[in-house]
Chains A and B, each alone.
Chain A
Amino acid sequence: MPPEIEVGSDQGAVAGAQWWPARSAQRALRGFLGVVRQVVGAPDYARYLEHHAACHPDRAPLSPREYYADFVTWRFGSAGPTRCC
């Protein structure tokens, strides 16, 4: 299941969170999880789609599965220490 790309104002309404505190809570949670992903170095498919749409609009993006396989090979499968003693 691909994650949602972006929650625009109307999409957020469709997603069911009409009451504004729920909507801003949802947005805050999303932001927080994004930060956590970056801190631990986890892949972020939604961000990849944004980057892809902005920089390579002529090519079809990778599927979530292809993107993850590619990410893991790059992040853990190449030289360079990612952690210390």
Chain B
Amino acid sequence: MLAREMRRFLSAAIWITIAAVGAAGFAVLALSRGESISAAWILAAGIASYVIAYRFYARFLAVRVFALDDHRATPAERLNNDRDFVPTNKWVLFGHHFAAIAGAGPLIGPMLAAQFGFLPGTLWLIAGVVAGGAVQDFTILVASMRRDGKSLGQMAKEEINPAAGMAAMIAILAIMVILLAVLALVVVNALKASPWGLFIIASTIPIAVLMGWWMRSVRPGHVLEASAMGITLLLMALVAGQWVSLDPTWSRWFTWSGTGLSWAIVVYGFVAAVLPVWLLLTPRGYLSTFLKIGTVLGLAVAIFLILPQTRMPALTQFVDGTGPVFAGKVFPFAFITIACGAISGFHALVASGTTPKMVTRESEARLIGYGAMLMESLVGLMAVIAAATLEPSVYFAMNVPASTLGPTTDTAARVIAQWGFTLHPGQMEALARQMGEATLLSRTGGAPSLAVGMASILGRVVRGPGLALWYHFAIMFEALFILTTVDAGTRVGRFMLQELGGHLWKPFGRTSWYPSIVISSALIVAGWGYFLYQGVVDPLGGINSLWPLFGIANQLLAAVALCVATTILIKLGRQRYAWVTVVPLVWLASATLTAGWQKVFATDPRLGFLAHARAMTRSVSPDAARLIFNDRLDAALALAFMTVVVGLILASAREWWLVLSKRKAPQVNEAPFVESAYAAGD
């Protein structure tokens, strides 16, 4: 009896301490104005919130809302085929799922949103994940797990209606095209005029082919061995890149313009999509997974060890919408710029893809669905910290396009001085020399400034390699896994297009028919390649228009996922708890539709696509016609996304009303209950 009392007291004491630490973190974030704070406070606020949310809210979701039941066999147990349906240890699956959801999004988004200061990003990452993103991932995982691992599109079709399913599929395809374009643009901007960076990324192609050949022909299936070899070669290429950048002849070969690089990526994307997977896609996939997990862990350890001080202000004057990195006020634009890390619709595709087929016991979905997303948010906070440790003048000098800053550091210093930040003479030149780059001025896209932030953090922990090596390591890390997403995404897009095309003309739907493979791959690559090329030649830098478009698309996909989740909860008779998905849905739909509306119709030509097109009609620039066309295309695309999603929300709301008013018997499409053998022990 006493022992139980003691345990309850201890437990309460521990949770009160965690809450106090978190509250102290938020208090410091809220009260510090103008002075530098330690990154420890950002981490304290974040981690304490995650722990409390996981312990209490995720438990509430698991027990009350979903009524997870370990006696109910999961598809992994019932359909075990030792392939896609495999009961997997929960920590292993946590790592597997995290590696699948974490990408460039949570790193780049917070870096761009740092133009508002570090506070909006920090708060949105924490609040968004706890109430939105983790809930979405968890709900969709559970829904899919109870339906033998059905995909989001299939669930939309079954739970809402067939038209909704079709609309969701087309929306997913369009989003994929924009996502690939914007990620490829980030890579082009990072590798442009950077012989060192380009050399490393170019050498990943022969390294991957060598690994592919090794794993297929020399030692079949020895992935770990081939990956160890690949990583060793990659690190050698990283070091060799410095010699390349210093040698006049070699560096000329690897110094490419943005347009040249965008063509190269388009050709690469097409070739990678039609080649057999074992040659390029598989080895690159493994290489980037190892690099991603290793680097994220390393960065986390480094941040905890040095706890850097912030240099960026908590809030900048650009919350009013005059920001030079991208246009728009903090509401709604901070909430679409940071998508992954807070809430990301794309995760719903992974959570209804491979993961639900591998969960051993229902209760483990809490760790995997909710827990892995909390980790992704922590990655987002690390990007916030990397951004916040930059000098504000350096941050803006790197992330603002040359059309605003002018061609030289002197012109840039004058522009930045007007914003109240001081760029010292020679500062950018010294930084570029330290990082081993020709210039760091107007290196937009977020990746170079993230690499500078990461290099300064990692370089303080392990000094040996020097900042230039760390900078290019970070560039390699970002570019490698972005390009892996480009290969894999092009392929997934190809399959989706083939499936859709199969409805129109049967033979096109045969995924292994070569003409269909070539045509559908070419169409997907042409789609993202078009937006990529236009982004590269856009005088405003392309990120300004493409990143918001991507954010809007991704958040609208999350709205679709939350609609499906709400419909399922209502059909299960849990309407009492429908607020768990309705509240994030309302917030997301309002923020994203507002952002979409402003991007299309705002009268400020910096913000609105149509206003920019109108302003361009008076321009004498030879590019005017092209820019006007692109503005109208972007506007049409944003409107199309918004229309589809509003339609889906209305279709879902109709379904909710029909079920709640008892006009329609709720049909629950869950797989029937089968007693689990794994629960016998409890």
A82 touches B353 (CB 8 A): yes
- What chain A residues lie within 8 Å of B100 (beta carbons)? 82-84
Q: A82's contact among B219, B340, B488, by CB below 8 Å, is which? A: B488
- What chain B residues lie within 8 Å of A77 (beta carbons)? 277
Of residues 2 through 49 on chain A, the ones whose CB sits less than 8 Å from some CB of chain B are: 33, 35-43, 45, 47-48
A40 touches B82 (CB 8 A): no
Please tell me if B470 contacts chain A, counting CB pairs below 8 Å.
no
- B517 CB to nearest A CB, Å: 11
Are A83 and B488 CB-contacts (below 8 A) given A38-B88, A39-B92, A72-B277?
yes
Please tell me if A55 contacts chain B, counting CB pairs below 8 Å.
yes
- What chain A residues lie within 8 Å of B349 (beta carbons)? 80-81, 84
The listed residue with most A CB atoms (<10 A of its CB), out of B217, B340, B491, is B491
Q: B96's contact among A38, A72, A76, by CB below 8 Å, is which? A: A38
Q: How far is the CA of A76 from the CA of B495 in the complex (A)?
A: 12
Please tell me if B428 contacts chain A, counting CB pairs below 8 Å.
no
The interface size of chain A toward B, counting residues with CB under 8 Å, comes to 37
Interface-located stretch among B284-292, B575-583, B633-641: B284-292
B96 touches A85 (CB 8 A): no
Interface of A is mostly: helix
Please tell me if A69 contacts chain B, counting CB pairs below 8 Å.
yes
- What chain B residues lie within 8 Å of A51 (beta carbons)? 82
- A80 CB to nearest B CB, Å: 5
Interface of B is mostly: helix
B96 closest partner in A (C-beta): A39
B488 touches A67 (CB 8 A): no
- What chain B residues lie within 8 Å of A65 (beta carbons)? 216-217, 220
The listed residue with most A CB atoms (<10 A of its CB), out of B484, B492, B511, B554, is B492
The listed residue with most A CB atoms (<10 A of its CB), out of B82, B104, B220, is B220
Of residues 479 through 498 on chain B, the ones whose CB sits less than 8 Å from some CB of chain A are: 484-485, 488-489, 491-492, 495-496
B83 closest partner in A (C-beta): A74
The listed residue with most B CB atoms (<10 A of its CB), out of A41, A78, A83, A85, is A85
B358 closest partner in A (C-beta): A38
The interface size of chain B toward A, counting residues with CB under 8 Å, comes to 56
B221 touches A71 (CB 8 A): yes
Of residues 444 through 493 on chain B, the ones whose CB sits less than 8 Å from some CB of chain A are: 484-485, 488-489, 491-492
Q: How far is the CA of A79 from the CA of B277 in the complex (A)?
A: 13
A40 touches B347 (CB 8 A): no
B220 touches A68 (CB 8 A): yes
A36 closest partner in B (C-beta): B224
Q: How far is the CA of A81 from the CA of B183 in the complex (A)?
A: 16
- What chain A residues lie within 8 Å of B496 (beta carbons)? 79
- A12 CB to nearest B CB, Å: 21
Q: How far is the CA of A47 from the CA of B88 in the complex (A)?
A: 13
Please tell me if B95 contacts chain A, counting CB pairs below 8 Å.
yes
Q: How far is the CA of A45 from the CA of B496 in the complex (A)?
A: 31
- B187 CB to nearest A CB, Å: 13
B179 touches A85 (CB 8 A): yes
B330-367 interface mask toward A, CB cutoff 8 Å, 1 = contact, 0 = none?
Answer: 00000000011000101101100110000000000000
Please tell me if B278 contacts chain A, counting CB pairs below 8 Å.
yes
- A32 CB to nearest B CB, Å: 10
B82 touches A80 (CB 8 A): no
The listed residue with most B CB atoms (<10 A of its CB), out of A35, A42, A48, A81, is A81
B485 touches A40 (CB 8 A): no
- What chain B residues lie within 8 Å of A81 (beta carbons)? 346, 349-350, 353, 488-489, 492
Q: Pick 5 A–B contacts, CB within 8 A, sort by A.
A: A38-B92, A40-B227, A73-B277, A83-B488, A85-B104
A-B pairs, top 5 by smallest CB distance, nearest first, are: A79-B495, A42-B223, A51-B82, A85-B105, A68-B221
A79-B499, A85-B105, A85-B339 are known contacts; what are 4 more A-B pairs with Cβ within 8 Å?
Answer: A33-B224, A84-B103, A85-B104, A85-B340
List the interface of chain A (C-beta within 8 A of B): 1, 33, 35-43, 45, 47-48, 51, 55, 63-65, 67-69, 71-85
List the interface of chain B (C-beta within 8 A of A): 82-84, 88-89, 92, 95-96, 99-105, 151, 179, 183, 215-217, 219-221, 223-224, 227, 277-278, 281-282, 285-286, 289-290, 293, 339-340, 344, 346-347, 349-350, 353-354, 484-485, 488-489, 491-492, 495-496, 499, 511, 554
